[in-house]
């Protein structure tokens, strides 16, 4: 049987994507996606528009969100919630709380960037923001490229915005416990986003997977736009060892700015249970 073209992680202008929710849906459909989840950072505000557009096209759609959490020794990890009830009050309040720290963080980032000669970054990044409650490093990156300090968004992260670089500031996001409680409480399935992107030691990784599973986490992105073929093998093994469902996810942000386009992903290893068997 032909595997389903599912893409369960992407962004719109409601967080740091470049396309409006309905445009994301239309592009996914045009690319042959058969099941889509929109997973904006810490936000549910694009879901109504996306769901409606998907309905018009006859495209299967799941409500999603990508929650920013802090874990261990100041590590930022992202947890995707799939099939959440977007009207759930605890989830909504929890996400509002996570979002509320972003603006002061952005001001601290701008102050640090100012010290290294990148001036006016707060106002500059704001010009790229689609949702004032959701300013992200991606918006800063676009401004820094515009100013000619770097040739593309990726090199902005390498030079200024990644952990340890001059424009990076520590920030406390949600706890793993809270994120899982909100997602599960809203009837959703919690999935570890792009596990290949975290700089964790092997021991930290194992501790994280165990904590995630013990708190009711159920899935992991085995296929991710950010993963190499070796990563896929590694996270397939993690899914088997921890009994996790496997997800397939582009993490698309916009044309020309993402690792991979919507739905242009390898298939899951056949022995894994796809997370969409539960959606
Ligand atoms: P924030 O939630 O504000 O910390 O921003 C995180 C976002 O920055 C990610 O979701 C990506 O959109 C973007 N990002 C992080 N690292 C990179 C990178 N190395 N290259 C391009 N974009 C990145
Ligand atoms: Mn992003
Ligand atoms: Mn992420
Ligand atoms: Mn993402």
The alpha carbon of 203 and the centre of ligand 2 are apart by a number of angstroms equal to 27
pLDDT digits (tens, 9 = 90+) for 174-221: 999 999 999 999 999 999 999 999 999 999 999 999 999 999 999 999
Residues with Cβ within 8 Å of 259's Cβ and at least 6 positions away in sequence, in order, are 225, 226, 250, 251
Ligand nearest to the CA of 138: 1
Task: Calculate the alpha carbon distances from 83 to 20, 122, 269 in Å.
Answer: 20, 34, 23
- Considering only CA atoms, which of 86, 10, 70, 16 is closest in space to residue 250? 10
The alpha carbon of 1 and the centre of ligand 2 are apart by a number of angstroms equal to 33
| Residue 259, pLDDT score | 84
Report the C-alpha gap between 66 and 249 in whole angstroms. Answer: 12
| Residue 73, pLDDT score | 87
pLDDT digits (tens, 9 = 90+) for 11-46: 999 999 999 999 999 999 999 999 999 999 999 999
**Percent residues over pLDDT 90 in the chain:** 97
- Which of 105, 128, 150, 157 to probe ligand 1 with, by most ligand atoms within 8 A of CB? 157
Average pLDDT for 129-143? 98
| Residue 224, pLDDT score | 98
Report the C-alpha gap between 244 and 66 in whole angstroms. Answer: 18
Is there a contact between 44 and 63 (Cβ–Cβ < 8 Å)? yes
Residue 220's beta-bridge partner residues? Answer: 192, 246
Torsion angle, CA of 190/222/234/228, rounded to 10 degrees? -130
Residue 247's beta-bridge partner residues? Answer: 221
Say yes or no: CB of residue 261 within 6 Å of ligand 1: no
Say yes or no: CB of residue 106 within 6 Å of ligand 1: no
pTM for the complete prediction? 0.98
């Amino acid at each position: 049987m032909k595997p389903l073209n599912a893409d369960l992680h992407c962004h719109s202008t409601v967080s740091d994507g470049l396309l409006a929710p309905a445009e994301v849906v239309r592009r996914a459909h045009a690319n042959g996606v058969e099941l889509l989840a929109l997973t904006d950072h810490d936000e549910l505000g694009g879901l109504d528009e996306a769901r409606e557009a998907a309905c018009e096209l006859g495209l299967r759609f799941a409500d999603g969100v990508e929650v920013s959490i802090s874990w261990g020794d100041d590590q930022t990890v992202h947890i995707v919630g799939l099939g959440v009830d977007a009207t759930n009050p605890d989830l909504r309040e929890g996400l509002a709380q996570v979002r509320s720290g972003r603006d002061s963080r952005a001001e601290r980032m701008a102050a640090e960037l100012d010290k290294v000669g990148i001036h006016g970054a707060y106002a500059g990044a704001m010009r790229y923001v689609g949702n004032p409650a959701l300013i992200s490093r991606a918006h800063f990156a676009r401004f820094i490229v515009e100013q000619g300090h770097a040739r593309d968004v990726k090199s902005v992260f390498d030079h200024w915005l990644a952990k340890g670089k001059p424009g990076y500031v520590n920030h406390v996001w949600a706890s793993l416990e809270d994120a899982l409680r909100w997602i599960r409480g809203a009837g959703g399935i919690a999935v570890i986003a792009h596990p290949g992107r975290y700089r964790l030691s092997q021991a930290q990784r194992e501790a994280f997977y165990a904590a995630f599973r013990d708190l009711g986490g159920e899935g992991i992105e085995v296929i991710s736009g950010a993963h190499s073929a070796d990563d896929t093998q590694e996270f397939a093994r993690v899914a088997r060892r921890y009994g996790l469902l496997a997800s397939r996810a582009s993490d698309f942000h916009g044309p020309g700015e993402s690792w991979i386009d919507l739905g242009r992903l390898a298939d899951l290893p056949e022995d894994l249970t796809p997370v969409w068997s539960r959606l």
